[in-house]
Amino acid sequence: MQIEIINTGSELMLGRVLNTHQQWLCRQLSDLGYVVARQLAISDEGPQIQSALRESLARADLILTTGGLGPTSDDRTRDLVAELLGVELERNNEVLERILHFFTSRNRPMPESVKVQALVPCGALVLMNAHGTAPGLVIEVPAGRFRNASTMLVMLPGPPRELRPMFTEQVVPLLKQNLPCETEFVCRVLKTTGLGESRVEEIIAPELKHLTDAGLELGYCARTGEVDVRFIGRGCGAQENVAEAESIVRRLIGDHVFGVDDEQLETTLIHLLTERKQTLALAESCTGGYIANRITNVPGASAVLWGGAVSYANESKSKWLGVSEATLAAHGAVSKETAREMVEGARRISGANFAISVTGIAGPDGGSDEKPVGTVFIGFADANGSRVYKFLNQYDRETFKYVTSQQALEILRRAVEKAES
Amino acid sequence: MQIEIINTGSELMLGRVLNTHQQWLCRQLSDLGYVVARQLAISDEGPQIQSALRESLARADLILTTGGLGPTSDDRTRDLVAELLGVELERNNEVLERILHFFTSRNRPMPESVKVQALVPCGALVLMNAHGTAPGLVIEVPAGRFRNASTMLVMLPGPPRELRPMFTEQVVPLLKQNLPCETEFVCRVLKTTGLGESRVEEIIAPELKHLTDAGLELGYCARTGEVDVRFIGRGCGAQENVAEAESIVRRLIGDHVFGVDDEQLETTLIHLLTERKQTLALAESCTGGYIANRITNVPGASAVLWGGAVSYANESKSKWLGVSEATLAAHGAVSKETAREMVEGARRISGANFAISVTGIAGPDGGSDEKPVGTVFIGFADANGSRVYKFLNQYDRETFKYVTSQQALEILRRAVEKAES
């Protein structure tokens, strides 16, 4: 089955907006067993949109478009599709009523232009929009027009808050009914850290050869400090082959596997702590709240997180964490000693089971010969005492924060796991 | 000039990775006056990559590919391009030496497979990789092969840390020399909040008609709580037309404009506070460190941010911010009274010029009839006292944090700007 996504929007081509639709839609589809063959992004210009559609219609069983259904003059997908397919636009009264209601219920004046969103290509199925005014549209393009089979053309509005529930609640049931998946499809990703991409392959590929020879797909994706190992199985036995591959890789490099699929370290950590009814306190300097932010992204974090001090100024390290002025004066804010007093203070004040502290130089300024930009001390404390780790994370500011937060969360994860055994 | 980007990677099509290359490359190019016409993502499969390349070679003056140059078996761009163009791969000794050095200098064992990265299509220009082992490649595909003009094919490695400096330092100079921009190109984005997309257009479009009639492009992009207004001018007078459009829009809806281009609220705020040598303290509950994280993403934040308490548990609100237990007992953690004591405590303890506090219910659980999920109190304090704002932000957890942080930063921005006048 050929599936293609067309994202329209000049803001995409100008690099003003990140295209999150691609990942989100591809992920939803692949979890259902559908794999997207092509994703294309183009500007809002008519000829671009029509030629992209024409090409896709000659190939695809399913086309998903995003954007171009709104009320402004650069929203042209509706008209361009109608023109390309040679159908008229007609007013849909239910859509019109919903648009009127959208504005009256919010006590907002209704610009005349929004009514254009009630125009629907003849014969299209309308997907009502629970979070906005532009409806989605589904058109079954019959065989013989662009190729010798029919194509399901699904048009979705651009704002993620509108697109996502519309896809999940309305498009997925349509797909399952009209374009059911024929073969089993299993995708599993093991997230590893501490080995390079080629080293990972060198270790695991020979041991997986009997499975890859039998059709298992093996892929790698290298990221900062991490390598994803991906298994894809299709058809009969897919589930078993992927499970066998996973157990082989865990046997070979299990120490380096810190998660599976989309599992984030913070999710694993919160689940571990929640199960054990244990708590956590944070003391962040150079990561500036990034660790707290990641942890509080996980629903249920409030049962685990006592709190975190983003202790940027020295004074805040003293007042919130009890770091002594003498230590700060003698060793500086970025030091093993300060990291230790931060983490011990966080644990003492909170009474939490575990505490972690981070102090370092995120850059771009503030480095010295002795302590270059990227220097980080991470302190850890539990009932058995405290210890401090030193790292050198020489990246741009945001990557620095990410890598440092990964190290801190991984120290916590290993400690919490070990504490049980 | 036709410019196309081809992103390869099965992880993209499976929705396992967000394609940040598209935005980054499109933005770099558009800032230089080049506009990307098409961006295509496909899997690592050979037929997919070759057919995409063949189509692009028939249209484009410049093609940029990302990914597929690494050492693992799914890195196939190098071979597929050589095969498509009918050229041999030959060993490049400089690349090989750099790969050897990469491993020896890190004291890491070198897997045999990494040497494949030293294979280069005959005649290709090699772009050395300062941050990894896979070199970039540039091939001038002569006129007559795929179309009646030549095409510059630039292949870049997938990891952002390797791709970005390679593009900036090596590809941009090549482009300026070999494919210079012919016409002036100006893009400007005004970021607005508080008006719907159609309402913005209704107000501004008629007043800009003389400019759009003369060729100025006007675009809109609606996001959660925000609408971007985008002007594009090309050719002679572009700069002046865009400047005139901006001043008209500022006259009409200036109160709603909170930034331009990529300007984030936190950047604006840090710059304002730095100029005025003023400081800031934060007290975050439901945003969980997200505001602190945004602020500390801005280089120089340490001159402004005293610190932030991520006071998740009630006890942390008392210990770090001095919120009274009586207030928490009488009104609850999510209340006007708690927000006020949090922000007053943050300002008192820090001595900062400004403080902001946030307490609310991020969800998905924890709501009640009286205080549904999404309820937020934002407290503000400066030398003149404190005040509390109430919002209802009914979104998923991460969007809730984003919208709430926008509201808090906007309250701060307006207060800091007003404090001067």
User: Which CATH number is A98's domain given?
Assistant: 3.40.980.10
Whichever domain contains B317, its CATH number is 3.90.950.20
Residues B41, A39: C-beta atoms closer than 8 Å:
yes
Distances (CA, A) of A30 to A165, A185, A227, B247: 17, 8, 21, 47
Q: How many CB pairs under 8 A join A and B?
A: 349
**In this structure, are A53 and A147 located in the same domain?**
yes
Distance from the Cα of B145 to chain A's closest Cα (Å) equals: 22
CB nearest A72 (choices: B17, B112, B198): B198
**Do A35 and B41 make contact, defined as CB atoms within 8 angstroms?**
no
Strand runs (DSSP E) across B303-353, as ranges? 305-310
Instruction: Judge: A307–B307 Cβ closer than 8 Å, yes or no.
Output: no
State the average pLDDT over residues B77-98: 95
What confidence category does residue B248 fall into, taking pLDDT thresholds of 50, 70 and 90?
A: very high
| H or E stretch at A208 | none
Question: Which residue, of B245, B260, B275, is where some domain finishes?
Answer: B260
Q: How far is CA B307 from CA A311, A374, A381, B303, B354, in A?
A: 5, 21, 22, 11, 11
d(CA B65, CA A320) in angstroms, rounded, equals 50
Q: What is the DSSP string of A297-359?
A: TSTTGGGTEEEEEE--SHHHHHHHH---HHHHHHH-SSSHHHHHHHHHHHHHHH--SEEEEEE
CB B195 within 8 A of CB B256: yes
Q: How far is CA A399 from CA A312, A394, B237, B302, B377, in A?
A: 19, 9, 40, 18, 32
- How far is residue A175 from each of residues A149, A258, A330, measured CA to CA in Å? 16, 34, 66
Structure token pair of residue A304: 């685990």
Among B31, B64, B198, B286, the residue to mutate for chain A (most A Cβ within 10 A):
B198
Q: Total structural domains in chain B? A: 3
- Terminal-residue alpha carbon distance, chain B: 48
| Whether residue B157 sits in one domain with residue B276 | no
Judgement on whether residues A57 and A73 belong to the same structural domain of the protein: yes
Contacts of A418 (CB under 8 A, 6+ apart): none
Residue of A nearest to B106 (CA): A196
Residue B206's nearest CA partner among A337, A73, A224 is A73
Statement to judge: residues B293 and B167 lie in one domain = no
Verify that A105 and A126 share a domain, yes or no: yes
In B, which residues are within 8 Å of A40 by CB distance? 38-41
DSSP string, A94-143: HHHHHHHHHHHHTT----GGGGGGGEEETTPEEE--TTSSPPEEEEEEPT
CB-CB under 8 Å, B397 with A297: yes
Residue with more model confidence, B265 or B147: B147
B26–A12: do the CB atoms touch at under 8 Å?
A: yes
Structure tokens, B80: 């597929």
Would you state the pLDDT for residue B261? 87
Residue A76 and residue A89: Cα distance in Å, rounded? Answer: 13
Please answer whether residues A13 and A43 qualify as being in contact, where contact means their C-beta atoms are separated by less than 8 angstroms: yes
- In Å, what is the CA distance from A382 to each residue of A33, A289, A303, B221? 44, 21, 18, 49
Which chain A residues contact residue B315 at CB under 8 A? 306-307, 350
Last residue of a domain, one of A260, A291, A325: A260
Q: Are residues B68 and B146 in the same domain?
A: yes
Q: Which residues pair with A348 in a beta bridge?
A: none
If asked whether residues B106 and B204 sit together in one domain, one would say: no
Of A12, A71, A397, the CB nearest to B197: A71
Per-residue pLDDT of chain A (421 residues; tens, 9 = 90+): 999 999 999 999 999 889 999 999 999 999 898 999 999 999 999 999 999 999 999 999 999 999 999 998 889 999 999 999 999 999 999 999 999 998 888 888 888 889 999 999 999 999 999 888 999 999 999 999 999 999 999 999 999 989 999 999 999 999 999 999 878 889 999 999 888 889 999 999 999 999 999 999 999 988 877 899 999 999 889 999 999 999 999 999 998 888 898 888 899 899 999 999 999 999 999 999 999 999 999 999 999 999 999 999 999 999 999 999 999 999 999 999 999 999 999 999 999 999 999 999 988 888 899 999 999 999 999 999 999 999 998 888 888 999 999 999 989 988 998 886 5
What CATH number corresponds to the domain at position A214? 3.30.70.2860
Shortest alpha-carbon distance between residue B189 and chain A (Å): 9
pLDDT greater than 90 at residue B259: no
How many other CB atoms are there within 10 angstroms of residue A240's CB atom? 12
Which residues constitute the domain of residue B47? 3-178
Which pLDDT tens digit goes with each residue over B402-412? 999 999 998 99
CB contact under 8 A, B10 and A230: yes
Does residue B408 share a domain with residue B347?
yes
Which residues in chain B have Cβ-Cβ distances shorter than 8 Å to A305?
A: 288, 310, 312-313
Q: Which of A11, A310, A395 sits opposite B219 (nearest CB)?
A: A11
Instruction: Using a cut of 0.90, tell me whether the model's pTM lies above it.
Output: no
Helices (H), A167-307: 172-178, 197-204, 209-213, 238-253, 265-275, 290-296
Q: What is the pLDDT of residues B288-329, one digit of tens each?
A: 999 999 999 999 999 999 999 999 999 999 999 999 999 999
> Which one of A16, A288, A362 has the shortest CB-CB distance to B292?
A288
Q: Would you give the distance in Å from CA A352 to the centre of its chain?
A: 30
Taking an 8 Å cut-off on Cβ atoms, the answer to whether A40 and B44 are in contact is no
Smallest CA–CA separation between B218 and chain A, in Å? 8
Q: CB distance A301–B288 less than 8 Å?
A: yes
Sign of the Cα pseudo-torsion (B238, B239, B245, B246, in order): positive
Q: Is the dihedral of CA B397, B401, B403, B407 positive or negative?
A: positive
pLDDT value at residue A420: 62
Mean pLDDT of chain B: 94
B14 to A230: CB separation less than 8 angstroms, yes or no: yes
Q: How far is A357 from chain B (nearest CA, A)?
A: 14
Q: What is the ipTM of this complex?
A: 0.81
pLDDT for the residue A117: 94
CB atoms within 10 A of CB A165: 13
Mean pLDDT of B6-22: 93
Q: pLDDT confidence of B343, banded at 50, 70, 90?
A: very high
The SS3 assignment for A421 reads: coil
Residue of B108, B305, B395 lying closest to A196 (CB–CB): B108
Of residues A95, A186, A99, A86, the one with CA closest to residue A137: A95
Does residue B275 carry a pLDDT above 80?
yes
d(CA A36, CA A22): 10
Kindly write down the DSSP assignment for every residue of B360-384, as one continuous string.
E--SSS---SSS-TTEEEEEEEETT
Helices (H), B278-335: 290-296, 314-321, 325-331
Residues in Cβ contact with A226 at an 8 Å cutoff, skipping those fewer than 6 apart? A191, A192, A193, A406
Q: Are residues B174 and B37 in the same domain?
A: yes
Contact A26 B40 (CB under 8 A): no
More confident residue, A309 or B363: A309
Determine whether the interchain pair A350/B315 forms a contact, defined as Cβ–Cβ distance below 8 Å. yes
Please, which pLDDT band fits residue B420 given cuts at 50, 70 and 90?
A: low
| Shortest CA distance from B292: residue in chain A | A289
Q: Residue with structure tokens 């629970």?
A: A130
Residue in chain A nearest B361 by alpha carbon? A302
Q: Of B148, B163, B178, which residue is a domain's last?
A: B178
Quick check: B374 pLDDT over 80?
yes
> Domain check: are A236 and A359 in the same one?
no
B119, B216: one domain: no
Is the domain of A159 the same as that of A14?
yes
